[in-house]
Amino acid sequence: MKTVYVVIAALLAGCASKPLPPDWQANAKGALDASVDDYLKGHTAASAAEFRGARAETAATGRLDHVAQVELVRCAAQAASLVFEDCPGYAALAADATPAQRAYAAYLAGQWDGLDVALLPEQHRAVVAGGALDKIEDPLSRMVAAGALFKAGRMTPDGIALAVDTASNQGWRRPLLAWLGVQEERAKLSGDTAAAEQIRRRMALVTGP
């Protein structure tokens, strides 16, 4: 995921002429990638186990800001799936997070009033400024932005449809069900029973027998 692995990606950057990075960096990123992928696919237990591994690898550094970044990745995956919890893992580290991390956490929580937009990754700055979701090429970044927009109360019907299509195209069961649920509720409120029934059939297909 482009936008939420900033710290870890930066740590992994380098050229062949430099010493190889410590094992924990590659181990943490690999486990974190796997955790997010399993979470979005609905594999809760596997995701949790992989996340514990990523956090343990990062915690070995004693760097609170590094661990805060790992926790923010989990918060972002939850936001993409419309799971808006308090992110207790990050909250416990917020006092030692960087200004950019605190801004990103506020962005995910839909707390955009007074937000220092300049501290956000570029594509998310554009979202806060009213930019279109379809301009974000990375699917996960787009889903995270959609979740932040929804939490901030700025999501449009077209944006909801795009979130559904993006999750569907990626085979991400958890966010797909969440966003289909939003579409279903809107259809029911508008009295479009045929659309609501069709959405429920899609959801039944995703959940399986």
The domain of 89 spans 6-157
In a domain, 168, yes or no: no
In a domain, 136, yes or no: yes
What is the number of domains present in the chain? 1
In a domain, 14, yes or no: yes
In a domain, 194, yes or no: no
Q: For the chain, what is the largest distance between any 2 Cα atoms, rounded to a whole number of angstroms?
A: 64
In a domain, 166, yes or no: no
pLDDT of residue 85: 82
In a domain, 35, yes or no: yes
Q: Look at the pTM and tell me if it is higher than 0.75.
A: yes
In a domain, 164, yes or no: no
Low-confidence ranges of the chain (pLDDT < 70): 1-17
In a domain, 187, yes or no: no
